[in-house]
Structure 1
Amino acid sequence: MTLLIFLVAGCTKKEEKFWELAVVGNYTSALSHNGKLAMIGSINHGGSLWQFPAYERRFNWNHQKGVFSFIVAAAFSGNNELAVTADNLQSLVLWSTVTGESQAFWRAPGDISSIALSNGGNIALLGLLDNRAILFNIKNGGVERTYLHADRVNAVAISADNMMVLSGSDDYTAKLWDTTTGKLLHSWDMGNKVVSVSLSANHRFAFIAAANSIAQVRDTKTGGLVYDVNPHAEWMGRGPTLTSAIFSDNEQLLLTGTTNREIKLHDLKQQKVIKHWQVSRRQAWKPTGVAIQALAFGQDQFYAIGSNGRMYTLR
């Protein structure tokens, strides 16, 4: 057993480098598709946009002048040209990542828990505390379609072609919807509150994670199980919850992050973990957790943002 523990630990790497984005930590964060832009909702200084590798804080993004906003959710458009932020007062702001100027300001029809932005930035998918996920026209305003759960919606994702949306809820289910018809395509019971979801580039795969460390990749066409991300979850009892995930563009790899600083790269074809990191925390002597809030694939490296206010690069 001692040898086994040593071998497993030996396979785990640390980050290559990290940057301090927030002194205390983040309420939420997001990374652009290429990992070169980071949006954070800081505990102390509201919203801000950062650019890498210059490590430059480009814009302060708050919803009221002179006031640090409590940013609860953020997302980038697929083309990286727009970003959206949501605060605890139900306000939504669409921003240009080029000029830093606001493009639209709206009041959401409920308290927001999560958000995703369409590829062109015209449509925002909102997860709400009142059991709904809604498609909201963030350019012109107005709800375009509503998707219902039996409890609060914690996580949402929209496909690159806007044809499918995925929502995860406290009602233990993740649901896949057709945006054109509003039809429910699949509903998966995860046995606990669903906390994280993601769709692959061509919406071939859906990632779903629940609070009991169970996480799965499902086929969006058949609904069948493609990959059990944590196959030992049942006999482990309770392990770290997977808080974030992103698929590679070719839909062959999956990058996941957890509540205990772990990041793993999964090969979906081989059905196994091929890289494993555990990133640093601020005070190594204190048993404080770091939830991985956002992930991105780079050209020859990977990016992650932790709830402790650090952005990490991994190889």
Structure 2
Amino acid sequence: MYKTADRLMLNHRFTFLWVMISLFLSACSGAISQPEKSVRHAQEGAYAADISADGKISVISTAQQGILVWDLTNQAEKFKWSHQEEGNNHNTVGIVHIAADSSYVVTADREAFALWNLTTGEPEGFWRIDEASVRDIAVSNNGRGILVGRGNGKVLFFEPKTGRRLEFLGHQEKINSVDISPNGFYALTGGNDYTAYLWDTRTGQVIHKFVHSSRVTKVALDDLGRYAFSVDSKRGAKIWDVQSGKEISQLFYLQRQKIFSTATFSENGKYLATGSPGRALNLWSVTSGSEIQEWRVTPKEGTQPQSAIVYAVSFSQENQLLSESSSGLAEYWPFEQD
């Protein structure tokens, strides 16, 4: 048995070695760190963010300014929201999701979630979760359905206008990530039980079961109903055919472990864009799983070592990606299509 001091020294050596390996891999990857354009959306950094599918709206949960809605066409603040009472500046919202048609957005902390109308800027509902913490959330077009993944392994599908509720009980352990189809009929959920499920929100019926070798940490659905993406905590990052349930490709990367904080498919179906907690923004080929390009977003000020979480990415134009990160910056990254 090692003594405590020996263990600490070994841990420090291991950490130093891992940092050096990571820096070496980053240097060899040809990552680009200079965006074409950068706009500050949050003065003191951000806790969460999402970008609309058309790249015209960003919603950012900020450290000091509450929840901000930005018009990206004019780069102007459109609305400012708060989960808390007037005068309470302690914002705890850590999850933001915009509907595919940019009509509504849901925001959530661990105990409650709210539905907001992106046309009027007004809230249309606020709900508390008593049974278990909110782990992830998503909303469908027109605010028709809200999907809530919880810490007890249950997934709630809720229709605000009709009051209809359905609980999906397929998972055995806590939920880590959820996504919903634009029409609200299909859900993709992943959890600590090594499984991602694609299921019907009208019946609760499982359509496909995607099995991984470790806990599923991130899932994403293609808005046009072609693909599903699921990632585990080891090296399993897979793209699936939604119709057949068969694997299309597995993302190829050198790292032993790569964490994904966001993922979105391009409208033309050729690309998958992902972000990570370690500043990385990556573009992948859907058919082959190969990496096309990597970028590094601007680190958040004051972090040591310098880092930033990529919260959201969008194909804002045909040859351009837009990212929102914990640095509080919206950054634009051009790329050449095949």
Q: Could you tell me the TM-score, scaled by structure 1's length?
A: 0.88
Contact kept in structure 1, 2:253 and 2:291, CA below 8 Å = no
Distance verdict in 2 for CA 1:25–1:139, change over 3 Å: farther
Secondary structure at the counterpart of residue 176 of structure 2: strand
Secondary structure at the counterpart of residue 227 of structure 1: strand
2:48 alignment counterpart? 28
User: How many angstroms apart in 2 are the aligned matches of 1:162 and 1:29?
Assistant: 21
Contact kept in structure 2, 1:215 and 1:242, CA below 8 Å = no
Secondary structure at the counterpart of residue 120 of structure 1: helix
Q: Would you say 1:279 and 2:300 are equivalent positions? A: no
User: How many angstroms apart in 1 are the aligned matches of 2:177 and 2:27?
Assistant: 35
What code does the residue aligned with 1:30 have? D
How many equivalent residue pairs?
307
> Which of 152, 165, 168 is matched with 2:174 structurally?
152
Distance verdict in 2 for CA 1:268–1:194, change over 3 Å: same
What code does the residue aligned with 1:118 have? S
User: How many angstroms apart in 2 are the aligned matches of 1:285 and 1:111?
Assistant: 28
Deviation of 1:213 (Å): 4.5
1:193 alignment counterpart? 215
Distance verdict in 2 for CA 1:284–1:42, change over 3 Å: closer
User: How many angstroms apart in 2 are the aligned matches of 1:99 and 1:154?
Assistant: 31
Distance verdict in 2 for CA 1:250–1:60, change over 3 Å: same
2:325 alignment counterpart? 306
User: How many angstroms apart in 1 are the aligned matches of 2:304 and 2:57?
Assistant: 30
2:115 alignment counterpart? 94
Contact kept in structure 1, 2:249 and 2:288, CA below 8 Å = no
2:125 alignment counterpart? 104
2:80 alignment counterpart? 60
State the percentage of identical aligned residues: 27
What code does the residue aligned with 1:86 have? A
Counterparts of 1:58-137 in structure 2, within 5 Å, are 58-63=78-83, 64-68=85-89, 69-90=91-112, 92-108=113-129, 110-137=132-159
Contact kept in structure 2, 1:80 and 1:97, CA below 8 Å = yes
Distance verdict in 2 for CA 1:145–1:51, change over 3 Å: same
- CA RMSD in angstroms comes to 2.5
Deviation of 1:126 (Å): 0.8
What code does the residue aligned with 2:324 have? I
Q: Would you say 1:139 and 2:139 are equivalent positions? A: no
Deviation of 1:271 (Å): 4.1
Contact kept in structure 2, 1:210 and 1:242, CA below 8 Å = no
Deviation of 1:146 (Å): 2.5
1:161 alignment counterpart? 183
Distance verdict in 2 for CA 1:142–1:44, change over 3 Å: farther
Cα offsets for 1:200-231 (capped at 9, x unmatched): 12322110122335311112233222111135
Distance verdict in 2 for CA 1:8–1:135, change over 3 Å: same
Distance verdict in 2 for CA 1:59–1:287, change over 3 Å: same
User: How many angstroms apart in 1 are the aligned matches of 2:52 and 2:26?
Assistant: 36
Distance verdict in 2 for CA 1:9–1:89, change over 3 Å: closer
Secondary structure at the counterpart of residue 213 of structure 2: coil
Secondary structure at the counterpart of residue 44 of structure 1: coil
Deviation of 1:123 (Å): 0.6
User: How many angstroms apart in 2 are the aligned matches of 1:96 and 1:160?
Assistant: 16
Cα offsets for 1:85-124 (capped at 9, x unmatched): 123332x222122221112223345421211111221111
Distance verdict in 2 for CA 1:9–1:78, change over 3 Å: closer
Contact kept in structure 2, 1:117 and 1:125, CA below 8 Å = yes
2:37 alignment counterpart? 17
User: How many angstroms apart in 1 are the aligned matches of 2:178 and 2:211?
Assistant: 16
Secondary structure at the counterpart of residue 15 of structure 1: coil
1:251 alignment counterpart? 269
Deviation of 1:283 (Å): 4.7
Which structure has more helix as a fraction of its residues?
2
Secondary structure at the counterpart of residue 242 of structure 1: coil
Which has the higher Rg, Structure 1 or Structure 2? 2
Q: Would you say 1:179 and 2:201 are equivalent positions? A: yes
